[in-house]
Structure 1
Amino acid sequence: MLLRLPVSVSEAQECLTEGAVPIGGATLVWAGWQQDGFPDQAMSLRRLPEANVIEREALGAAVVLREIDDRVPEVLRRAAATVGTGAVRRTATVGGNLVGSTLRCLLPAALVLNARAVVLDADRVHETDLAEVLAKRHLLLGLRWREPIVSGYRKLSGEAGGPPPLIVAAAVHADGGRHLLRVAVRDGYEVLSDSIGYDAGTDTEQILNGLQGTTVGTLHAAGWAEVRHHVTELLAAPAGH
């Protein structure tokens, strides 16, 4: 297998045109290749500058999870820190977790940031929403979003070999003269997300009552209890958390 390491977008597009298979951090594809056979060509974006950005409002798809720090919002940093083991986080990438994994621990965090996906096609680079990227398994270059006022992430402990643990992510955004609370929950392999607008100074209980009328409010009782607890803590946190 020939591993190609493009250093420019045009070179990466050439690799795609010639049939190179994107590998991310290879933590998910390697076992499958050992069983089913290796492709003739593979491509890693680890040397492509556009895929290695770490900024307050952008994150590259080739960034290794261990490298994600307080340059990004709290919700993304905490999400990355809970993925797998330390050994996994040293090799797994943002793009691999979002597009290549069935667990997608970063997805709730990306959803509450209302992140847009930057996608590399053989003939162009463009932005789209995460739903399209996941449905069509596009080659992800990175994520972009607007910095929230405050954000947070909670991942419950799970049993080895058991179902994926519940994840709750939330973020508050400025929305004109109001605030917008976005919440996303991974329950098993299903991800629910919704939002609710409110005025500054609105009582937390009133916000929770409104949230309960959204898709997130259809969760089972235990899941809703976790959402309620997490959102209550988040709304009491100082801005910039």
Structure 2
Amino acid sequence: MWLRLPTSVSEAQEFLAAGAVPIGGASLVWATWQRDGFPEQAMSLREVPEANVVGRGTLGAAVVLSRIGDGVPEVLRAAAATVGTGAVRRTATVGGNIVGSSLRCLLPAALALDARATVLEPDRVYETDLAEIVAKRPLLLDLKWDEPSVSGYRKLAGEAGGPPPFVVAAAVHADAGAEGGRRLRVAVRDGYEVLSESAPCQAAPEDTVAALRRTDLGALDPLAWAAVSDQVTEVLTRPSTG
């Protein structure tokens, strides 16, 4: 197997056109390849600058989870910090987690940030929403978002051998069209399903929680809803930190 390491977007497109199979940190595909056989060509974006950015409003798809630190909102930092072990976080990438993993641990955080995805294809680079990323699993180049004023993340304890733990991600964004000029975006992972909703931020946190209760999030089981309510209230009642 040839491992292609392009150093530019155009070179990555050439390798894609030649049939190279994209990989992230290979933490998800290695066992499958050992069982089913290796492709003739694989390609990593770890040398492509656009895929390695960690900065304000941008996160590259080739960034390993252990690199996600103070340069990104709290909701995304906390989500990355809860993925697997330290060894996993040093090899697993943003793109592999969101596109290649069935758990998609970073997806709720990205949805709460209302992130947009840049996709790389052999003949074009384009921006799309996260719904397309989940449905079509294209090659992710990066994520971009507008910085929230405050955000937070909570992961409940899970049972060994049971379904994935419930998680809730929340972020407050400026929104001139919303009452009070701010909008709360919330995303949860319930089992393997991910659900996101939003509501204008009310003067009292409990009123914002009540508005969310009238969305599809209100159908969550009592324990999960309590986690959503607690996390939303906590985010809305602390100072803006980003």
Counterpart AA for 1:127: E
2:212 paired residue number = 211
1:185 paired residue number = 188
Q: Deviation string for 1:175-227 (max 9, x for gaps)? A: 1151100000100001111000135xx11111111110011111111110000
Displacement after TM superposition at 1:159 (Å): 2.3
How far apart, in 2, do the equivalents of 1:109 and 1:198 lie? 18
8 A Cα contact 1:117 1:142, kept in partner: yes
How far apart, in 2, do the equivalents of 1:133 and 1:190 lie? 15
Q: Deviation string for 1:34-57 (max 9, x for gaps)? A: 000000000000000000000110
Q: Secondary structure at the match of 2:98?
A: helix
How far apart, in 1, do the equivalents of 2:34 and 2:166 lie? 31
TM-score by length of 2: 0.97
1:12 paired residue number = 12
1:163 paired residue number = 163
How far apart, in 2, do the equivalents of 1:62 and 1:125 lie? 16
Mapping for residues 50-199 of structure 1, pairs under 5 Å:
50-176=50-176, 178-199=181-202
Q: Secondary structure at the match of 1:31?
A: helix
Instruction: Provide structure 2 residue ranges, at least 5 long, that are not aligned to the other structure.
Output: none
Q: Secondary structure at the match of 2:123?
A: coil
Q: Deviation string for 1:127-169 (max 9, x for gaps)? A: 0001111111110000000000100011112122211000000
Task: Answer yes or no: is 1:232 the counterpart of 2:233.
Answer: yes
Q: Secondary structure at the match of 2:38?
A: coil
Counterpart AA for 2:53: V
How far apart, in 2, do the equivalents of 1:229 and 1:67 lie? 29
Counterpart AA for 2:146: R
TM-score by length of 1: 0.97
How far apart, in 2, do the equivalents of 1:98 and 1:118 lie? 13
8 A Cα contact 1:184 1:192, kept in partner: yes
How far apart, in 2, do the equivalents of 1:237 and 1:206 lie? 16
Counterpart AA for 1:198: C
2:222 paired residue number = 221
Q: Secondary structure at the match of 1:194?
A: strand
Counterpart AA for 1:196: A
How far apart, in 2, do the equivalents of 1:37 and 1:213 lie? 49
Q: Number of residues paired by the alignment?
A: 239
8 A Cα contact 1:117 1:144, kept in partner: yes
8 A Cα contact 1:183 1:216, kept in partner: no
More deviation, 154-163/62-71:
154-163
Query: Percent sequence identity over matched residues?
Result: 69
8 A Cα contact 1:156 1:166, kept in partner: yes
